[in-house]
Amino acid sequence: MYGYEITQKVKELTLDKIKITEGALYPTLHALEAEGLLTTKAEYIGKRVRKYYSLSAAGKAKSKERISELSNFIETMISLLDIKPKTA
Amino acid sequence: MYCISDHQIDFIQRDINRHGIITESLQQNLLDHICIIIEQNLEQNGDFEQFYATTIKTFYKEELREIEEETLFLLTSKGPHALFSRNQFFFLLFLVFIGPFIAYDLAWMRDSGAGFYLPMEILEGTMVFALFPFLVLFVLYLTPDNLDPLIPRKSKILIGIRPFIRIIPPNPGNASLG
């Protein structure tokens, strides 16, 4: 996905609750790319260059690890606050 | 859908460059992002320059170069680090270079039980070893920005492991690595 597409996807998935600003998105993408967690592919559109970002193998492993950490944290908070998960 | 011309693309590129976006890949990202917004939201006969001016303002809080600064910050700061304002940094230097001498004098006064009295040999030591760093810090702190100081006003100082110290000036175009 390219930058604009990422912001739109996040908006769509969170029903407009989370809006990623350009000022937060691009510095983070550059840092993740420098760390080797993202790979990029450039596409030339006339005088413009569109950069498509995707997770590298290291990025996928790191992402899995972070999602697991977040999941554990959320479970802990749910049990700590005694929140009953909604059932359909 | 608005069709953006090459001339307008050049205009946007020049503008973002003029406003402090100097990293090429970041320029490309922002240029493409702005172009997509314009293409999708500006009407065919809409006012390009006005729409662009309004759109670009939504990218930052105070200045566009914040994005460049944030990118450089994330790219250069590896491992644990701390970011200080200019005043905090000078206070830290003061504590490190002059603080020990003052602390020694205070400890000496406490242990000797002589109250606020220091014999000349202790006072001379403090003067010799604390005065020089104090003068250096004083000159560094007070040097006006038009004399190209080592640490300009409104700059930030990053202290970490790699790099050990980095001065982040208000204008990223003049960034220096220590």
Q: What is the pLDDT of residues B55-101, one digit of tens each?
A: 999 988 888 988 998 898 888 777 777 888 899 999 999 999 999 98
Please answer yes or no on whether A31 and B33 come within 8 Å at the CB atom: no
Residue A45 is inside which H or E element, if any? strand A38-45
Q: How confident is the model at residue B166 (pLDDT cuts 50, 70, 90)?
A: confident
Q: How confident is the model at residue B130 (pLDDT cuts 50, 70, 90)?
A: confident
Identify from A9, A47, A51 which residue to disrupt to test chain B contact, counting B C-beta atoms within 10 A and taking the largest count. Answer: A47
B74 touches chain A (CB under 8 A): yes
Q: What is the pLDDT of residue A86?
A: 64
Instruction: Inform me whether the pLDDT recorded for B113 exceeds 50.
Output: yes
Please answer yes or no on whether B29 and A45 come within 8 Å at the CB atom: no
Q: What is the pLDDT of residue A88?
A: 58
Instruction: Inform me whether the pLDDT recorded for B173 exceeds 60.
Output: no
Question: Structure pTM?
Answer: 0.65
Q: Which two tokens stand for residue A6?
A: 């990422």
Give phi and psi for A64, each to the nearest 5.
Answer: -60, -45
Which of A73-87, B34-48, B103-117 has the highest mean predicted lDDT (pLDDT)? Answer: B34-48
Cβ-based neighbour number of residue A33 at 10 Å:
18
CB B86, CB B154: distance < 8 Å: yes
Q: Looking at CA atoms only, how far is residue A65 from chain B in angstroms?
A: 19
Instruction: Inform me whether the pLDDT recorded for B172 exceeds 50.
Output: no
- Cβ neighbours of residue B61 closer than 8 Å, sequence gap 6 or more: A23
Q: How confident is the model at residue A32 (pLDDT cuts 50, 70, 90)?
A: very high
User: What structural domains and CATH numbers belong to chain A?
Assistant: 3-81 (1.10.10.10)
Instruction: Inform me whether the pLDDT recorded for B178 exceeds 50.
Output: no
Q: What is the mean pLDDT of residues B94-114?
A: 88
Please answer yes or no on whether B67 and A28 come within 8 Å at the CB atom: no
Q: How confident is the model at residue B177 (pLDDT cuts 50, 70, 90)?
A: very low
Which comes out higher in pLDDT, residue B155 or B28? B28
